[in-house]
Amino acid sequence: MPHYHKSEKMPKFYRHWNHRIGLEVLKINHAMKYGPNATEAQKVHMNAELSKYIDDCYDKEKELKLNDVYVTDHSEVEQKYLSSVMMRMKTSTTIKNPLKNTIMTNLQMPSFQIKRLFTKRVL
Protein backbone atom coordinates (compact mmCIF):
# COMPACT_ATOMS: atom_id res chain seq x y z
CA MET A 1 0.00 0.00 0.00
CA PRO A 2 1.33 3.47 -0.80
CA HIS A 3 1.74 5.91 2.07
CA TYR A 4 -0.96 8.23 0.71
CA HIS A 5 -3.63 5.51 0.59
CA LYS A 6 -6.78 6.21 2.62
CA SER A 7 -9.51 3.62 2.89
CA GLU A 8 -12.36 6.17 2.95
CA LYS A 9 -11.37 7.35 -0.55
CA MET A 10 -11.61 3.90 -2.12
CA PRO A 11 -15.39 3.82 -2.77
CA LYS A 12 -15.11 7.08 -4.73
CA PHE A 13 -12.10 5.72 -6.62
CA TYR A 14 -13.98 2.54 -7.58
CA ARG A 15 -17.06 4.54 -8.58
CA HIS A 16 -14.98 6.75 -10.89
CA TRP A 17 -13.18 3.71 -12.22
CA ASN A 18 -16.54 2.12 -13.11
CA HIS A 19 -17.50 5.31 -14.95
CA ARG A 20 -14.30 4.98 -16.98
CA ILE A 21 -14.96 1.31 -17.71
CA GLY A 22 -18.48 2.17 -18.87
CA LEU A 23 -17.08 4.82 -21.18
CA GLU A 24 -14.56 2.40 -22.65
CA VAL A 25 -17.27 -0.26 -23.14
CA LEU A 26 -19.38 2.30 -25.00
CA LYS A 27 -16.43 3.20 -27.24
CA ILE A 28 -15.72 -0.49 -27.96
CA ASN A 29 -19.39 -1.03 -28.88
CA HIS A 30 -19.20 1.91 -31.27
CA ALA A 31 -16.03 0.54 -32.85
CA MET A 32 -17.57 -2.93 -33.29
CA LYS A 33 -20.90 -1.58 -34.58
CA TYR A 34 -19.71 1.18 -36.95
CA GLY A 35 -16.10 0.18 -37.72
CA PRO A 36 -13.35 2.57 -38.74
CA ASN A 37 -15.33 4.16 -41.60
CA ALA A 38 -18.38 5.62 -39.88
CA THR A 39 -20.63 8.05 -41.74
CA GLU A 40 -21.21 11.60 -40.51
CA ALA A 41 -24.64 10.67 -39.13
CA GLN A 42 -23.13 7.77 -37.23
CA LYS A 43 -20.37 10.02 -35.83
CA VAL A 44 -22.98 12.51 -34.63
CA HIS A 45 -24.92 9.66 -33.03
CA MET A 46 -21.75 8.33 -31.32
CA ASN A 47 -20.86 11.80 -30.01
CA ALA A 48 -24.39 12.26 -28.68
CA GLU A 49 -24.24 8.87 -26.89
CA LEU A 50 -20.86 9.67 -25.35
CA SER A 51 -22.03 13.12 -24.21
CA LYS A 52 -25.18 11.65 -22.69
CA TYR A 53 -23.15 9.01 -20.81
CA ILE A 54 -20.73 11.61 -19.44
CA ASP A 55 -23.60 13.90 -18.38
CA ASP A 56 -25.28 10.96 -16.63
CA CYS A 57 -22.05 10.23 -14.75
CA TYR A 58 -21.82 13.85 -13.59
CA ASP A 59 -25.47 13.79 -12.51
CA LYS A 60 -24.91 10.62 -10.45
CA GLU A 61 -21.91 12.26 -8.74
CA LYS A 62 -23.97 15.35 -7.92
CA GLU A 63 -26.71 13.19 -6.41
CA LEU A 64 -24.17 11.31 -4.29
CA LYS A 65 -22.72 14.58 -2.99
CA LEU A 66 -26.20 15.65 -1.86
CA ASN A 67 -26.95 12.43 0.07
CA ASP A 68 -25.87 14.00 3.36
CA VAL A 69 -27.68 17.31 2.81
CA TYR A 70 -30.90 17.93 4.71
CA VAL A 71 -33.39 20.75 4.18
CA THR A 72 -34.14 22.86 7.24
CA ASP A 73 -36.53 25.72 7.81
CA HIS A 74 -34.66 28.91 8.60
CA SER A 75 -37.65 31.16 9.19
CA GLU A 76 -37.41 33.76 11.91
CA VAL A 77 -39.28 32.96 15.12
CA GLU A 78 -42.03 35.44 15.89
CA GLN A 79 -41.53 37.35 19.12
CA LYS A 80 -44.17 36.68 21.76
CA TYR A 81 -45.22 39.18 24.40
CA LEU A 82 -46.93 38.49 27.68
CA SER A 83 -49.50 41.24 27.32
CA SER A 84 -50.13 44.67 25.90
CA VAL A 85 -48.51 46.10 29.06
CA MET A 86 -45.16 44.76 27.87
CA MET A 87 -45.61 46.58 24.57
CA ARG A 88 -46.31 49.84 26.41
CA MET A 89 -43.37 49.19 28.73
CA LYS A 90 -40.95 49.15 25.79
CA THR A 91 -42.03 52.61 24.69
CA SER A 92 -42.59 54.34 28.02
CA THR A 93 -39.86 55.85 30.19
CA THR A 94 -41.51 55.31 33.58
CA ILE A 95 -42.94 52.20 35.18
CA LYS A 96 -45.01 51.96 38.32
CA ASN A 97 -43.66 49.27 40.61
CA PRO A 98 -46.71 47.48 42.08
CA LEU A 99 -44.68 45.98 44.91
CA LYS A 100 -43.44 49.27 46.36
CA ASN A 101 -46.02 51.77 44.99
CA THR A 102 -43.24 53.97 43.63
CA ILE A 103 -42.42 55.20 40.16
CA MET A 104 -39.04 54.19 38.77
CA THR A 105 -37.43 54.99 35.45
CA ASN A 106 -36.18 52.30 33.11
CA LEU A 107 -32.62 53.27 33.97
CA GLN A 108 -33.14 52.67 37.69
CA MET A 109 -34.80 49.30 37.38
CA PRO A 110 -32.90 46.47 35.64
CA SER A 111 -34.70 44.71 32.81
CA PHE A 112 -34.73 41.30 34.54
CA GLN A 113 -36.73 42.84 37.43
CA ILE A 114 -39.22 44.36 35.00
CA LYS A 115 -39.74 41.01 33.32
CA ARG A 116 -40.10 39.30 36.69
CA LEU A 117 -42.75 41.80 37.81
CA PHE A 118 -44.89 41.31 34.77
CA THR A 119 -44.33 37.56 34.70
CA LYS A 120 -45.64 37.25 38.24
CA ARG A 121 -48.64 39.37 37.40
CA VAL A 122 -49.53 37.37 34.28
CA LEU A 123 -49.02 33.94 35.77
CA 63 to chain centre: 14
Is 77 a member of any domain? no
Same domain, 64 and 91: no
Per-residue pLDDT tens digits of the chain, which is 123 residues long: 566 778 888 888 899 999 999 999 999 999 999 988 899 999 999 999 999 999 999 999 999 988 888 777 777 777 776 665 555 555 444 555 555 544 444 445 555 555 555 544 444
Is 60 a member of any domain? yes
* pLDDT recorded at residue 123: 43
Greatest Cα pair distance, the chain, in angstroms, is 103
Same domain, 52 and 88: no
Domain membership of residue 16 as a residue range: 9-68
* pLDDT recorded at residue 21: 95
* pLDDT recorded at residue 102: 47
- The total number of structural domains in the chain stands at 2
Residue 82 has phi, psi (to 5 degrees) of: -70, -40
Q: Contact 95/109 with Cβ under 8 angstroms?
A: yes
3-state per-residue secondary structure call for 79-97: CCCCCHHHHHHHHCCEEEE
Give me the torsion for CA of 19, 22, 24, 26, rounded to 10°: -140
* pLDDT recorded at residue 20: 95
Same domain, 16 and 41: yes
Entry pTM: 0.52
In sequence order, what are the beta bridge partners of 103? 96
Is 15 a member of any domain? yes
Same domain, 15 and 51: yes
* pLDDT recorded at residue 57: 94
